[in-house]
Amino acid sequence: MYSRTLDLRADLARRSVFLFGARQTGKSTLLRTTFPEARFVDLLEADTFRTLAFRPESLRESLRPRDALVVIDEIQKLPALLDEVQLLVDRHKALRFVLTGSSARKLRRGGGNLLGGRALTRHLYPLTFREYGAAGLRRVLSVGGLPGVLSSSAPEDDLRAYVGTYLAEEIRAEALARSIESFARFLTTAAHAGGAQLNFAKIGSDAQVPPRTVREFFQVLVDTLVGFEVPPIDRLAGRKAVATSKFYFFDLGVAHALEGAFDPAPGTAAFGRALEHLVATELRAYLGYGRNTDTLAFYRTTSQLEVDFVVGGRIAIEVKGAGRVSERDTRGLRALAEDVPIARRIVVCTERERRTLESGVEVIPIADFLDELWSGEIV
């Protein structure tokens, strides 16, 4: 059992909460562990779903006087139930709800009542360095950070099953059943292109899918919380920057399963991509859990000068997975510093000791970087 970073108790003292997260990130486990006294309504249970779909008001009718917290799992399966939730919240000021979901798309498409500001929105991500620790870093680079997968004796099989379940259930639920084969080809192609700029025409050509459809498919991944985009930095002084985002899957292990290759060997290009992907997910989770409003972006010019991540417009981070870092590896960091005031320039790498180059760029081993990130020393 992992001790999770996200703590909803302070939030629930103020109001109800929407808790979003991809499947198997541990939403239900977190809630059952933290709030064992809560009443749980699981919409994945067929009987429960049928009852509430036929008579949403039965939720209100079944409320017990001692119920102070009600957890409704997978609320996107029945958006109409949110009207009942709002009614109960308005009538019972001390009553709180946690509404979990793995697809914001279904709520919007279903015209879901998002409670008009009566609920906070929080996200649960795969396990982070703060939760799995330095001892688990190499395994996470191989199989990702889904709690059940990380502790599994057959993680690769579990990840393949996860991908299959996603295709079979989520995509059919998104009304893409007619496109399931095209979507499967797209997923594999998108995984191989993970961390690269979105190029709808190229991905469409490789996956045999029209570029317009590729754009729609990427939006499905974002809406079902299976992927996220990192946009280009939006303010430069001199150089011309690229205009399209980079895309990452929410979990490194899921990306590996889609690519069909696990445990990339240190020193290879695949290992370098995996290291960058891991840093992307860790930065995203750190900013999300800390309610930090700093933006996560990247820098790339049309002349191919590049920095993997720029946090808050002031902290520049380049990730290198192979070899010893030299000044040659910092060209993008130096170019960015000429265009934007940068407080820190960092290269995250696999070297054993941290050091500072003559240009002032900090070279930090991956485990040290993640430890300092979650200690609040980077951002």
Residue keyed to tokens 């950070």 = 145
**Phi-psi region for residue 37, left (φ > 0), alpha (ψ -120 to 50) or beta?**
alpha
Q: How far apart are CA 345 and CA 241, in angstroms?
A: 19
CB atoms closer than 10 angstroms to residue 213: 17
* Full strand arrangement of the beta sheet holding 39-42: 39-42, 69-73, 96-101, 16-20, 119-123
pLDDT digits (tens, 9 = 90+) for 14-24: 999 999 999 99
Is the model's pLDDT at 155 over the cut of 80?
Answer: yes
Is the model's pLDDT at 176 over the cut of 70?
Answer: no
Q: How far apart are CA 29 and CA 32, in angstroms?
A: 5
CB-based contact 112:56 (threshold 8 Å)? no
Phi, psi of 40 (to 5 degrees): -105, 130
Question: Which 8-state DSSP code applies to residue 16?
Answer: E
CB-based contact 110:79 (threshold 8 Å)? yes
**Per-residue pLDDT at 304:** 83
pLDDT digits (tens, 9 = 90+) for 77-132: 898 899 999 999 999 999 999 999 987 776 766 555 677 778 999 999 999 999 99
- Comma-separated ranges of CATH 3.40.50.300 domains in the chain: 9-123
Map residue 278 onto helix, strand or coil: helix
CB-based contact 374:345 (threshold 8 Å)? no
SS3 sequence of 76-125 = HHCCCHHHHHHHHHHHCCCCEEEEEECCHHHHHHCCCCCHHHCEEEEECC
Confidence of residue 180 (pLDDT cuts 50, 70, 90): confident
Map residue 67 onto helix, strand or coil: coil
**Closest to 57 measured CA to CA, from 91, 90, 80, 89:** 80
Share of the chain above pLDDT 70, in %: 93
CATH 3.40.50.300 fits 9-123, yes or no: yes
Q: How far apart are CA 106 and CA 233, in angstroms?
A: 30
Structure tokens at 367: 């485990």
**Per-residue pLDDT at 171:** 66
**Per-residue pLDDT at 318:** 98
Map residue 354 onto helix, strand or coil: coil
Structure tokens at 33: 């562990």
Is the model's pLDDT at 303 over the cut of 90?
Answer: no
C-alpha pair distances (Å), 193 with each of 102, 189, 190, 204, 259 = 24, 6, 5, 12, 10
**Per-residue pLDDT at 170:** 67
Is the model's pLDDT at 193 over the cut of 90?
Answer: no
How many residues are present in the chain? 379
With a CB cutoff of 8 Å and minimum separation 6, the contacts of 264 are 141, 142, 256, 270, 271, 273, 274
Of 67-76, 230-239, 353-362, which gets the smallest average pLDDT?
A: 230-239
